[in-house]
Structure 1
Amino acid sequence: MKWHLLLVDDDEVSIKISSFMIEETHFHPAPISFENGLRASEYLREVYKKEEKYVIFLDINMPVMNGWEFLDEIKNFTEPANVKILIVSSSVHEDDKTRAGASEFVIQYLSKPVSPDTLEELKHSASLGFLFNE
């Protein structure tokens, strides 16, 4: 099954660390990164197909379009059945975690940086394991 992995974060170091961890754990062969939600939503609008799967590692605090605005935008043209979002943030505010949990797209809230152990756990999780077991 073809699936897409998008990394949406304005912090270049976070993107590099995440990309390295994803490669090392064989989580995905070719993640695509975006420095803000607007660029990611424009890309997703162009490539989105209901029969494909999309996993998005999304930062909250970004310029141009932040993570919350991105979530609002993709509701207009995607479905939670095939778009799974993991909030990856340095924010420890309980309000952010609550807000993330209220989104039908968000499957988990992770702290930066994403560790190899977390990626391995995701491979076997109920929400993403199907991507790795085919």
Structure 2
Amino acid sequence: MKKYKDLDCVLLVDDDISTNFIHRRIVENAEIKVDVKEITSAKEALDYLTYSGKYEDNIHAPKAGIIFLDINMPGMNGWDFIDEYKQLDEKHKARIIVVMLTTSLNPDDEQHAANVAEIATYLQKPLNKEAFANIADKFFKIIEE
């Protein structure tokens, strides 16, 4: 099982519980040593990253290395999350890779994502083991095999 430097946790941000469940299983089966945190709202994801709200006592929780972010969510959507994420103090977003993971077929969404520096890549759902492993290999250094 591989271990990567600064990849302690994968944050799955999707309002669909079954999608989060499937993506959790994919990440867990990818032979990469990492915790997985499922969150169903963009606001809650921001709270997790900033140790606020219900996460204020979680300062020892694993820091997210990759965020798989859905675009279409009720309330605060993925684009709203990115707008708020940009405003975070660097200590809360340092070394985090944000991946838009969506069912959107709108070419404007992909183009928009390509023009946002905070978004490392844009993928169509569902996530698969190969895509997850490729992202880990591309953005993180292996420290254990």
Q: TM-score, normalised by structure 2?
A: 0.78
**Computing the radius of gyration over CA atoms, which structure comes out larger, 1 or 2?**
2
Tell me how far 1:71 sits from its aligned partner: 0.4
User: What is residue 37 of structure 1 aligned with on the other side?
Assistant: 42
What letter matches 1:88 in structure 2?
L
User: What is residue 67 of structure 1 aligned with on the other side?
Assistant: 78
What letter matches 2:76 in structure 1?
M
Tell me how far 1:110 sits from its aligned partner: 0.6
How far, CA to CA, are the matches of 1:78 and 1:102 in structure 2?
A: 21
**1:49-128 equivalences in 2 (<5 Å):** 54-79=65-90, 81-125=94-138, 128=139
Structure 2: which 5+ residue stretches go unaligned? 52-57
Q: 1:94 to 1:28 in 2, by over 3 A?
A: farther
Whether the 8 Å CA contact 1:22–1:28 is kept in 2: the answer is no
Q: 1:103 to 1:90 in 2, by over 3 A?
A: same
CA RMSD in angstroms, aligned pairs only: 2.0
What letter matches 1:99 in structure 2?
H
Q: 1:21 aligns with which of 16, 21, 26?
A: 26
Tell me how far 1:5 sits from its aligned partner: 1.5
Q: 1:72 to 1:28 in 2, by over 3 A?
A: farther
Q: 1:33 to 1:105 in 2, by over 3 A?
A: same
Pairs aligned (count): 127
Tell me how far 1:86 sits from its aligned partner: 0.4
Structure 1: which 5+ residue stretches go unaligned? none
How far, CA to CA, are the matches of 2:117 and 2:94 in structure 1?
A: 9
How far, CA to CA, are the matches of 1:37 and 1:23 in structure 2?
A: 22
Q: 1:24 to 1:118 in 2, by over 3 A?
A: same
Q: Indicate whether 1:9 and 2:33 are aligned.
A: no
Bigger relative contact order, structure 1 or 2, given CA contacts below 8 A and separation 6+? 2
Tell me how far 1:81 sits from its aligned partner: 4.9
Q: TM-score, normalised by structure 1?
A: 0.84
Tell me how far 1:129 sits from its aligned partner: 3.2
